[in-house]
A and B are shown apart, each in its own frame.
Chain A
Amino acid sequence: QLQLQESGPGLVKPSETLSLTCTVSGGSIRRSDYYWDWIRQPPGEGLEWIGTIYYSGSTYYNPSLKSRVTISVDTSKNQFSLRLTSVTAADTAVYYCARRSGTYEDYWGQGTLVTVSS
């Protein structure tokens, strides 16, 4: 059974960089038929697609975040990562990693709350 697990600091100071890692277990991140997503959800609000990475390293980002986001993949560790720079309180959210199977996310991590505060 595929499992995804987010990890990283739960508290980040304003103007600093948010860094999260998603560890994939029970399957290979190198499978050619899957992509890997980051999605976030501010408290009490809806879902927002952040971006997608393919195992080859190809990336696609939400235009509204593109200038601040970098998603990378480490196939040797079966992990992919998110970096979001210059964070503000508006970046406070539960961050999810997920597997994209073509046109939909079929496996999700449990999510991790990241709070931006001094």
Chain B
Amino acid sequence: QSALTQPPSASGSPGQSVTISCTGTSSDVGGYNYVSWYQQHPGKAPKLMIYEVTKRPSGVPDRFSGSKSANTASLTVSGLQAEDEADYYCSSYAGSNMWVFGGGTKLTVL
């Protein structure tokens, strides 16, 4: 069970869109539609932003969207705002009641 692969960093200017990728294998990301995304501000607990690849919990702005193609899931943040600057982590079901996280991506709003 290896960590999912995310780019260490991503950036965009206010109002722009940015996409963060999360690459796994056919045993996790590619095998199930159980990818979640979490936002974490410094010193805070993670917050659920997307679940089951594309679903948004109540209260999460529709600027956040998720998708998946083969073994890679993606989180897109549209209309970037200053408060979107945070670390983002993906997570996927890996079979046999196991879960795996990505290494995290630091999103900077320029």
- A residues near B (Cβ < 8 Å) are 37, 39, 45-49, 52, 60, 62-64, 96, 103-106, 108-111
Q: Which residues of B contact A46 (CB under 8 A)?
A: 3, 89, 101-104
**What are 20 inter-chain pairs, A to B, with CB distance below 8 A?**
A39-B101, A46-B104, A47-B38, A47-B91, A47-B101, A48-B101, A49-B98, A49-B99, A52-B97, A60-B97, A60-B98, A103-B36, A103-B51, A104-B51, A104-B91, A105-B38, A106-B48, A106-B57, A108-B46, A108-B47
The listed residue (A62, A104, A108) touching B36 by CB distance below 8 A is A104
**A47 with B48: CB separation less than 8 A:** no
A-chain residues with CB within 8 Å of residue B99 when the two chains form the complex: 37, 49, 52
The closest CB in chain A to the CB of B94 belongs to A49
User: How many residues does chain B have at the interface if contact means C-beta atoms less than 8 Å apart?
Assistant: 24
By a CB distance below 8 angstroms, the chain B residues around A108 are 45-47
CB of B100 within 8 Å of the partner chain = yes
In chain B between 16 and 65, which residues have their CB closer than 8 angstroms to a CB of chain A?
A: 34, 36, 38, 45-48, 51-52, 57
Do residues B48 and A63 form an inter-chain contact, with CB atoms below 8 A? no
- Shortest C-beta distance, B83 to chain A (Å), equals 19
B69 contacts partner chain A, Cβ-Cβ < 8 Å: no
Q: Are B100 and A49 in contact (CB under 8 A)?
A: yes
